[in-house]
Chains A and B, each alone.
Chain A
Amino acid sequence: MSEIKLREPDDDLIPLLRECGNDELDNLVGYVTQRGGVFSQLKNTRVYKAHCPDHARYADEIAAEIQKFGGNTILNIMRGGRGPAYRDIVCQVASRLKVHFDKKSSIEEIERNILIKVLEASWEKMTDAEKQAFIEGIMPETGASNLPSEFPTALLQSAILGGSAVVVYRISLIVAGAIAKTTLQQGLAFLGGSAVGRWAAVFSGPVGFGIAGLWTLFDVMGPAYRVLIPCVLHIAMLRQLHLLRRKGIDAGSLQEAKT
């Protein structure tokens, strides 16, 4: 039983986090504990104190802490001390970032729209060389010789709709890597120093600038959003990673082949 009150079931969050390894959870733990000290409930649980950095041992506590970041004090009390469902949190973040989405859409689709919105905000911060590298890295098969001046939303959407789960994973990897760099000053722990990690890191600068712009552009000043948005972006990436794994695709070698 979770030491932090967990809202169960929450099919969009709990099963995914329970599947994750320590390295995959590491950035999430960083986001929710960044305030640290006596103010981090996770850090003050017995299971964390006993097992950190074996994060998989307290995946439920991580999920509960993220849920609680999605609610406010009074509403959490009204829910018996629990936060809202993860889907509501994703919708809340999407609304805050002015992402167009249908509340009835799948969680993957809403997360995808958020990822694209973040990239869109980063596009104008990129140099032409970075834009070129981005297009070629995300969709090598398109061979985008004419660099679009506007963010290529339609190109990305058509690549995604073309059934390429790999495209979404690459996008999520870039965004999650950039938010990790911006927020925690580190890369994605589960990639380590791999070629995939180096590939994603190329974009951490310009996308990071875009993310920094989001904070001010959309007035995302609330302390909870400073934690929730990185968590949502990281979880979107984890979901894509695990989807690829379920399809038998080795995400690591797949990316290394593109570098």
Chain B
Amino acid sequence: MGFDQQISALRRRYGLSLAQMGSLVGAPAISVKRWEQGASPREPFAFQLHLVRGLIESPNDVFYDLARQGIQLNKDHWDGFAHLVEAVDGCIHVAKEAGFESPNVSEALVSGVKGLLRLIARSFAAGDELGEKASMILSTRIASILK
């Protein structure tokens, strides 16, 4: 699946607007639209999109991957937001099984993902070992979302 399809598939599944998707990667709605039409996101946006996808699909995996690289976050804090993201998926699944119309979960998903991003960004700001080595561009992107 190409990048354009991945972005639109994510938006469709969770009912995210262009603006909501853009808010997760620090980009305007028009950029998201262009990416969905096949334009390649610049590298920092591409990294950010992958990170957001990882946080939505498997926040637990991202937590442990960060820990392996030296970013050790508070598990209780992480789980608080991660459970919100996972609950969104659970809700969509149950609604589909019960034959209900798709629930409006986009705001909950955005809140959950932004919470996780904020926890990561805080560790960068704290001058974590990886934070220093990791792409400055990525941390700038995260910070821009959180402004």
Residues of A whose CB lies within 8 Å of any CB of B are 5, 35, 38-41, 68-69, 71-74, 76-78, 81, 221-224, 227
Asked whether B80 is an interface residue with its Cβ less than 8 Å from the other chain, the reply is no
Chain A residues with Cβ below 8 Å from B53 are 77
Tell me whether B47 and A39 are in contact (CB under 8 A). Answer: no
**Cβ of B51 under 8 Å from chain A:** yes
Which residues of chain B are near A41, meaning CB under 8 Å? 64, 67
Decide: A73 and B69 in contact? CB cutoff 8 A: yes
* Cα distance A69–B54 in the bound complex, in angstroms: 17
Q: A35-B67, A78-B50, A81-B54 are in contact. Are A73 and B62 (CB under 8 A)?
A: yes
Whether B54 lies near A77 (C-beta < 8 A) is yes
Q: What are 10 A-B contacts defined by CB distance under 8 Å?
A: A40-B64, A41-B64, A73-B51, A73-B54, A73-B65, A74-B54, A77-B51, A77-B61, A222-B133, A224-B68
B58 located at the interface, meaning its Cβ lies under 8 Å from any Cβ of chain A in the complex: yes
Is there an interface contact between A222 and B70, defined as CB atoms closer than 8 Å? yes
- Expressed in whole angstroms, the minimum distance between the Cβ of B69 and any Cβ of chain A is 6
- Complexed CA–CA distance, A74 and B57 (Å): 13
Q: Which 5 A-B pairs have the closest CB atoms?
A: A77-B54, A223-B70, A41-B64, A38-B75, A39-B67
B104 at the interface (CB under 8 A from A): no
Please determine whether B66 and A73 come into contact, CB atoms closer than 8 angstroms: yes
Set of chain B residues within 8 Å of A39, measured between Cβ atoms: 64, 67, 72
By a CB distance below 8 angstroms, the chain B residues around A71 are 65
Within 8 A of A (CB), among B13-36: none
Is B67 in contact with A77, judged by CB distance below 8 angstroms? no
Question: Digit string of B39-67 for contact with A (CB within 8 Å is 1, else 0)?
Answer: 00000000100110110011001101111
Do B129 and A223 touch across chains, with their CB atoms under 8 A apart?
Answer: yes
The B68-85 residues at the A interface (CB cut-off 8 A) are 68-70, 72, 75
The residue of chain B having its C-beta at the shortest distance from the C-beta of A72 within the complex is: B69
Decide: B64 and A81 in contact? CB cutoff 8 A. no
B61 A74 Cβ-Cβ under 8 A:
no
With a CB–CB cut-off of 8 A, which chain A residues contact B61? 5, 76-77, 81
Residues of B within 8 A of A221 (CB): 129
Chain B: CB-nearest residue to A223: B70
A76-B61, A81-B58 are contacts. A223–B51 as well, Cβ < 8 Å?
Answer: no
Assess whether B129 is in contact with A74, with CB atoms less than 8 Å apart: no
Give complex CA distance A224, B130 in Å: 10
Q: In the complex, what distance in Å separates the CA atom of A44 from the CA atom of B22?
A: 34
Within 8 A of A (CB), among B128-146: 129-130, 133, 138
Besides A39-B72, A227-B68, 11 other A-B contacts (C-beta < 8 A): A39-B67, A41-B67, A68-B65, A72-B65, A73-B54, A74-B51, A77-B65, A78-B50, A222-B129, A223-B68, A224-B70
